[in-house]
Chains A and B, each alone.
Chain A
């Protein structure tokens, strides 16, 4: 169970980008964070594994506060949080298999990880995961030669290699075509159920969120304006989530 309590973050003094953000995400469910661009979706997601340092609040993963963790604790916690990105962020010249094996780096000694010393068990597990996401034939191909949808599936396999409790997905389908989108989202939903993972996902596309998410967190200008099951999302609630700030509307008229 992931509990985020009263999270604050401001990048500069004038503007606070997260204001007392609180929500929960349960294992076995897909939790989607939705809202207009610039609302703070990415900031929330990246605070959860502390790629962005927030200012105040609590982030409890199975009752352990990530924000209090020291350097080595943080490394251990991150090892159990997979993350996939809009731009996949694979190491292009390396093979798909090696990119999946990178999922083990958090569990290895610095030295063994540096030199890429992986055991046969690890290699076989990586190959098995690639097979699970339908990429068995591409294991030894360079990642920059794969299509976007294939690269995102390698990203998922890399996250699974971490034996995660949770997978964070930062706009995972924003660069994908409809067919790959469906494939990737199907895999993510299936994983949540079969492995009882917490899947926390940032989405720009409302229709995808409504189709795939069990639990929805709506955010507007750094404040949570909705949290609840997908079916509770009424048109009024949607309007509150996607409401444009009034000052912006005025400038838009001026132009």
Chain B
């Protein structure tokens, strides 16, 4: 039987552990720095200069307002694509989640299939999705939609599955005891229980997709990302700044709306 450490020993041991963890972290940091070829101090010193440059060049001017029409149109299209991809992916995810969640899976092997599939789709990086789809579906809004759709599908399937698995399976037993069929159990038991949580996830993903749409847009040459890249590459920084500002405003507005909706349906 181990003897109990004295308080001094306890604190000494804990301090030593902390020191070791700290040293490991510093080691990791230093190694990463070398591998990436990053100079911490000189780079951090440039941050304020960067912010000043940003403030000088990225502030929209009178001139940039002339781009407002084109920008708002693309922003609107991007918002539409974000919502559409989330809702479509949400529908499929719900179906897969019911098949793959422990309490509702029709057979155990469905759980494995859904889990593996979702994990695969989720872990294929944005760049890969965008480029593969771009190759087949060409430069169109539809390509952006599909790229967002697949990423959302992987993410929401996992989120929905976990939400359903948090449910007490006894509640479904109660419905089975009444003589309810499988579909009745799902529609009268599972869906009402998880509806608000799923809605929260959908709202979050719309917000997230709007942000990701920028990257997808840059890669696939569609939507607001394309426009940003275009202005940015042609040194029209004030217009690019206007886009950044409008995206930020839109994302924050969405965030606030989602919070209100979440409170109202809770």
Contacts and interface: CB of A to CB of B under 8 A. Distances in A.
Interface of A: 49, 51, 74-79, 81-83, 85, 87, 89-94, 102-103, 105-108, 110, 113-116, 158, 162, 168
B196 interface: yes
Contacts of A77: 179
A113 B249 CA distance: 44
B171 A110 contact: no
Interface of B: 168, 170-171, 173-181, 183-184, 186-189, 192-193, 195-196
B184 A81 contact: no
**Residue from B168, B176, B177 whose CB has the most chain A CB atoms within 10 Å:** B177
Nearest to A101: B188
Contacts of A92: 193
A81 B189 CA distance: 19
B178 A89 contact: no
Dominant secondary structure at the A interface? mixed
Contact of B174 (A81, A89, A93, A115): A89
**Residue from B171, B174, B187, B192 whose CB has the most chain A CB atoms within 10 Å:** B174
A93 B183 contact: no
Contact of A114 (B173, B179, B184): B184
Given A87-B170, A91-B189, A114-B188, A102 B175 contact: yes
A75 B181 contact: yes
A95 B188 CA distance: 12
Given A90-B171, A91-B189, A115-B187, A110 B195 contact: no
A93 B192 contact: yes
B187 A83 contact: no
A106 B180 contact: yes
Contacts of B192: 91, 93-94
Contacts of B175: 102, 105
A105 B180 contact: yes
A105 B168 contact: no
Contacts of B180: 102, 105-106, 113
B181 A110 contact: yes
Nearest to B181: A110
19 contacts: A49-B177, A75-B179, A75-B181, A89-B171, A89-B173, A90-B171, A90-B174, A91-B188, A93-B193, A102-B175, A102-B178, A105-B180, A105-B188, A107-B179, A110-B184, A113-B188, A115-B187, A158-B178, A162-B179
Contact of B179 (A76, A85, A93): A76
A74 B177 CA distance: 10
Contact of A162 (B173, B178, B186, B187): B178
B107 to A, nearest CB: 16
**Residue from A49, A82, A93 whose CB has the most chain B CB atoms within 10 Å:** A93
A143 to B, nearest CB: 10
B173 A105 contact: no
Contacts of B171: 89-91
A75 B178 CA distance: 8
A116 B192 CA distance: 11
Given A85-B174, A93-B192, A93-B193, A79 B187 contact: no
A91 B184 contact: no
B200 to A, nearest CB: 13
A82 B170 CA distance: 15
A51 B186 CA distance: 17
Nearest to B195: A93
A85 B173 CA distance: 10
Given A103-B178, A162-B178, A91 B193 contact: yes
B220 to A, nearest CB: 39
A20 to B, nearest CB: 25
